[in-house]
A and B are shown apart, each in its own frame.
Chain A
Amino acid sequence: AQRVTQPEKLLSVFKGAPVELKCNYSYSGSPELFWYVQYSRQRLQLLLRHISRESIKGFTADLNKGETSFHLKKPFAQEEDSAMYYCALSPSILTGGGNKLTFGTGTQLKVEL
């Protein structure tokens, strides 16, 4: 069974401070990992995926297979980063994953001035 754990319901940081949103997963295989974001009154949208190895809006995430983690990081938080962040897992495309996403419970990030 696949599981995604986000231990923090709420993370509050000051503007300019570093941000780390934690995500741990459980999956017997090589999964694909994603971060989705939902800004206030907007739709859920993809922020980044580990296979792209991109930095989006200053955010990065590295897949650590040894620790089964995929933490989301940003060196300097901005007010516009305030949102709900969801970590998600999908079985590998190579094993016919079909993009079936399993989401964590989400972390509300609040960036204070």
Chain B
Amino acid sequence: EAGVAQSPRYKIIEKRQSVAFWCNPISGHATLYWYQQILGQGPKLLIQFQNNGVVDDSQLPKDRFSAERLKGVDSTLKIQPAKLEDSAVYLCASSLYLGTGRQETQYFGPGTRLLVL
């Protein structure tokens, strides 16, 4: 089965510019996650979608970050304007929803490496 797809794989921008990342989850996976992984740290959950609804965005810096999953499949994560501290790998993951709050294993994409200069 095809895995989680992400693009672009690498992005270099200057501070104050905007950037967008795209994620295509595994077919049939209702739940989609975006993580931020700063160098030397573990992944940190930014936002979790169930179909096209937001389940958890408590750690998303909403003044500059936004995410959407309009049709419940693909998702985009946007940063506007970017800051130096946003340099990180942005990981997308998806999982199969089993009902009653239960999720199957999360499968991760290859990530997008962002460098803000």
Contacts and interface: CB of A to CB of B under 8 A. Distances in A.
A105 B40 contact: yes
A98 interface: yes
Contacts, number: 49
A17 interface: no
Interface in B37-89: 40-45, 48, 55-56
A104 interface: yes
Interface residues on A, range: 20 to 34
B42 A43 contact: no
Residue of A88, A101, A102 most packed against chain B (CB within 10 A): A101
B42 A93 contact: no
Counting from the closest, the 3 A-B pairs by CB-CB distance are: A103-B42, A99-B103, A44-B108
Given A44-B91, A46-B105, A93-B101, A98 B42 contact: no
22 contacts: A4-B42, A43-B3, A43-B4, A43-B111, A45-B107, A46-B105, A46-B106, A49-B105, A86-B42, A96-B101, A97-B101, A98-B48, A98-B56, A98-B101, A99-B95, A99-B106, A100-B56, A101-B106, A103-B42, A103-B44, A105-B40, A105-B41
A14 B41 CA distance: 26
A103 B93 CA distance: 14
Contacts of B110: 43
Nearest to B56: A100
A106 interface: yes
